[in-house]
Structure 1
Amino acid sequence: MAAERSAEILFKDRPVGVLLETPDGGTRFVYGPDVTETIACALPVATREHGWPAGLHPVFQHLGPEGWLREKQARAGRVEEEDDFGLLLRYGRDCIGAIGIRPVQPITPSGWGGDAETRAATVGGRTVSGVQKKLLAYHDGDRYLPAEADGPATHIAKYNGQSEPTLVRNELLSLRLARDVLGAKQVTAFDRGFVAGLDEPALIVTRFDRTATGAKLRLEDFAQILARPQGRDFGGKYAGSYEEIAAAIRQHSARPLIDLDQFFRCVVFCVLIGNADAHLKNFSLLETPDGLRLSPAYDLLNTLVYRGAYKTEFALALGGDRIPTDRIDRRRILAFAEAIGLPAAAARLALRQLRDRIRRSTAIQPPDAEPEDGFLHRYAEIVENACSRLFEE
């Protein structure tokens, strides 16, 4: 029987404890004796040890890659794709947020090899969560370069999927509209460009979990905050409700009423653009000088435009039900606002402001030359229908 593995857990590159496999297949995280700072909402430092019965604790499990990047890193690192701990031991030195994983026993480098794409995906013991094809990168003058083993990794480059060649265009449109409707400070900064060595165009988003000098900021998505295990099919991020996210905001945010209002607006925006994939990992709390706050919006996509490629039900329960995204109306949204403790006046003001801003935006205005069944026309039609359901009193 193989010996249980262990890892040193880093927080902002400082050792804060150890993560141990247990004989029964679980894991146990133990804070160091001198550590006084909580590293995650689900791992309060007042409790010195945190066990999990099967596999990695969700705080650590959700740091690992999914989809395309998981396959690339598992193959290059000679790790089984199902081995969450093994993947983090090899690639978890630099993850999203402030937590890092360093193996207690040194791991022999496997060598990256392969093409430029494989090397960019596997170099440097770094990883990023999410299903979509993506790579870590940084800005150098007028170009983007793949992140190396050391040095900056200030951006995430996101690419089209083989079966969905419009993902980059879709998210670019969605972010532009979100910037107009939610406000520039409430949306991740973004660009469209190429990463050197890769021929595909990418959506390149600026990481808000890194400062201008590269320092790491604490960032936790709500799958981590609510300690929802990933699941074999990676479906754990759908196991929850928007009301649960709101309750966690109330508990952990330094400005809960402000963040509840912003969260409400983000949920409404997801309905507006037909985003049926706004799951627990697509909302996060971010470290700020004031404390933890709701992060800028990210991973915004019109999924209804793909007509069957995604589920049409809203990603999480709303009002206790799994509702088709295109059936969420004003009544349900106002009931949701009441359920999360947002005053009726604030909810109605938010709806009026969102209505006025989306009417002024030209982000998704189809060009005259595009046919009526073109991508932008279908996108705009989904938004128009949602506006009728949400804004008509």
Structure 2
Amino acid sequence: MTQAVLAAERIQSLDISLNDLPVGTLVRTPGDYNAFNLLPAYRAMNNPPVFSLSLRSADGGLRRDPKPIRRALPPFFANLLPEEKLREAMEKHHAASVRPGNDFDLLAALGGDLPGAVRALPSDGSPVVAGPEAQGRNTRFSLAGVQMKLSVMKNTGKQGGITLAVGDGQGQYIAKFPSLTHIGLSENEFALMALAEALGMEVPARELVDKTEFTGIPDEFTTQSTGKVLLVRRFDRGDGDTRVHIEDFAQVFGRYPSEKYNGGAYHNIGAALTSGVSFDSAIEFARRLALAAITGNGDMHLKNWSLLYPGDGRTPMLAPVYDMLSTIPYLPKDGLALSLAGEKSLQALTPERWRNFANRSRLPEGAVLTAVAETAAAVRDKWLVLPERDVVPAQVRARIDAHIDEMVPLLDP
């Protein structure tokens, strides 16, 4: 057997916790099955902190443990892992203990610094072996998604700079590196996030920085792309080592990452917010959805909407805006990531479609139509005078401008 196989097979069980609260155990069984079981002590708690709404029944109680799954993690855990090129980089970086394509191996390697408050650590307390290139520094970081991004921290003192988080959960920022194929992607997102904030939406702090400000970035994560790095404050990290639990709607609906574009529709998210969070959060979701349509964001799939569990972790709230950018400059015929009242074409989002969405989301038609029209009017008033739009490359900005000009009269007739 290779060293990677031996190192990976040594870990057969992961202890799952929310911050310091033990929640369950994820076990790798013979035949390559993965079984997740909630701990009796967690089940016995009166109104325990939410681990995942997918494990809650209609009456608020906890469902039975899911059946073991062969060659795959349960959806909740699969959605904690990076995808595509980012996953390839993570697997290479942890080659000493991660076999390509093995989700359990990768979760074990990254389990100390997962999104939100979840930890997945070897039950026997043994450390996970890192690759030779990682020896001497802590590299247990995980960010779900496909863009090249890392969890980083700002250094204080005279030297300053930005480096990888040096301990589990210490990364306070997400560094999103520029794309090789999409010009001005970081600047695009920076400006659209600023627009969302100008519209009164909750948006994390962000800034554009040069790649030269970073030190200690592994070779697997460096690219020849040009442009700025977008630095975004993590809203799943609080002061000190505090972690705030979060789950995206692929996790809420029990869907795998491969189903993020077809595992639900926007009215499913709206209805879940209406019944499980609040009327205000559902209307805010409609506002953000309208903003995505107006600015041409065709990538707001299930993993780009999340619930946050602040405080005692028992009450969900709609997470701040993230991954809000325009895809239209790069994919001129792009449509919505999910269907809105059975439609994905941006130009087909007539008032009738929004009424249909409102009904399926169990929201008053008038409240939704008002939210959509007010959002369109606000974009028209604020986008052209927004200072941050000037950082977007001219050709990208021109395509965003043209799309907004087309969409605003449709949504605010």
Partner in structure 2 of residue 252 of structure 1: 276
Contact 1:221–1:284 (8 Å) recurs in 2: yes
Contact 2:281–2:318 (8 Å) recurs in 1: yes
- Mark the CA change 1:22 to 1:246 in structure 2 (over 3 Å): closer, same or farther: farther
State which of 125, 145, 170 in structure 2 corresponds to 1:130: 145
How far residue 42 of structure 1 moved from its aligned partner, in angstroms, is 1.4
Partner in structure 2 of residue 381 of structure 1: 402
Deviation readout 1:152-187 (Å, 9 max, x if unpaired): 211101011211232101111111111112x15x22
Partner in structure 1 of residue 335 of structure 2: 313
Partner in structure 2 of residue 87 of structure 1: 106
- Mark the CA change 1:354 to 1:313 in structure 2 (over 3 Å): closer, same or farther: closer
Q: Secondary structure at the match of 1:216?
A: coil
State which of 15, 18, 26 in structure 2 corresponds to 1:11: 18
- Mark the CA change 1:250 to 1:132 in structure 2 (over 3 Å): closer, same or farther: same
Partner in structure 1 of residue 194 of structure 2: 176
How far residue 337 of structure 1 moved from its aligned partner, in angstroms, is 2.0
Instruction: Kindly indicate whether residue 315 of structure 2 is the aligned counterpart of residue 288 of structure 1.
Output: no
Q: CA RMSD in A?
A: 2.8
Instruction: Normalising by structure 2, report the TM-score.
Output: 0.82
Instruction: Kindly indicate whether residue 355 of structure 2 is the aligned counterpart of residue 337 of structure 1.
Output: no
Contact 1:275–1:325 (8 Å) recurs in 2: no
**What is the number of equivalent residue pairs in this alignment?**
374
Could you tell me which amino acid in structure 1 is paired with residue 273 of structure 2? I
Instruction: Normalising by structure 1, report the TM-score.
Output: 0.86
Contact 1:159–1:203 (8 Å) recurs in 2: yes
Instruction: Kindly indicate whether residue 378 of structure 2 is the aligned counterpart of residue 357 of structure 1.
Output: yes
Q: Give distance in 2, aligned partners of 1:365 and 1:203.
A: 13
Deviation readout 1:36-87 (Å, 9 max, x if unpaired): 2241111247345233534111111100111332111111212233111110
Q: Give distance in 1, aligned partners of 2:331 and 2:256.
A: 29
Deviation readout 1:252-277 (Å, 9 max, x if unpaired): 32xx2011101111111110110111
Instruction: Kindly indicate whether residue 38 of structure 2 is the aligned counterpart of residue 31 of structure 1.
Output: yes
Instruction: Kindly indicate whether residue 89 of structure 2 is the aligned counterpart of residue 72 of structure 1.
Output: yes
State which of 248, 254, 265 in structure 2 corresponds to 1:221: 248
Could you tell me which amino acid in structure 1 is paired with residue 147 of structure 2? Q
Contact 1:154–1:214 (8 Å) recurs in 2: no
Partner in structure 2 of residue 50 of structure 1: 66
Q: Give distance in 1, aligned partners of 2:187 and 2:110.
A: 29
Deviation readout 1:280-330 (Å, 9 max, x if unpaired): 00000101348101111100121111135xx72311122134x22343233
Contact 2:328–2:399 (8 Å) recurs in 1: no
Q: Give distance in 1, aligned partners of 2:20 and 2:80.
A: 15
Partner in structure 1 of residue 228 of structure 2: 201
How far residue 332 of structure 1 moved from its aligned partner, in angstroms, is 1.5
Q: Give distance in 2, aligned partners of 1:25 and 1:366.
A: 50
Partner in structure 2 of residue 40 of structure 1: 52
How far residue 201 of structure 1 moved from its aligned partner, in angstroms, is 2.6
Could you tell me which amino acid in structure 1 is paired with residue 116 of structure 2? G
Partner in structure 2 of residue 265 of structure 1: 287
How far residue 387 of structure 1 moved from its aligned partner, in angstroms, is 0.6
Partner in structure 2 of residue 113 of structure 1: 133
Deviation readout 1:341-361 (Å, 9 max, x if unpaired): 221231233134213321321
Contact 2:291–2:376 (8 Å) recurs in 1: no
Name which of structure 1's ranges 268-277 and 340-349 shifts more when overlaid on structure 2: 340-349
- Mark the CA change 1:15 to 1:269 in structure 2 (over 3 Å): closer, same or farther: same
Contact 1:366–1:377 (8 Å) recurs in 2: no
- Mark the CA change 1:52 to 1:388 in structure 2 (over 3 Å): closer, same or farther: farther
Q: Give distance in 2, aligned partners of 1:52 and 1:280.
A: 24
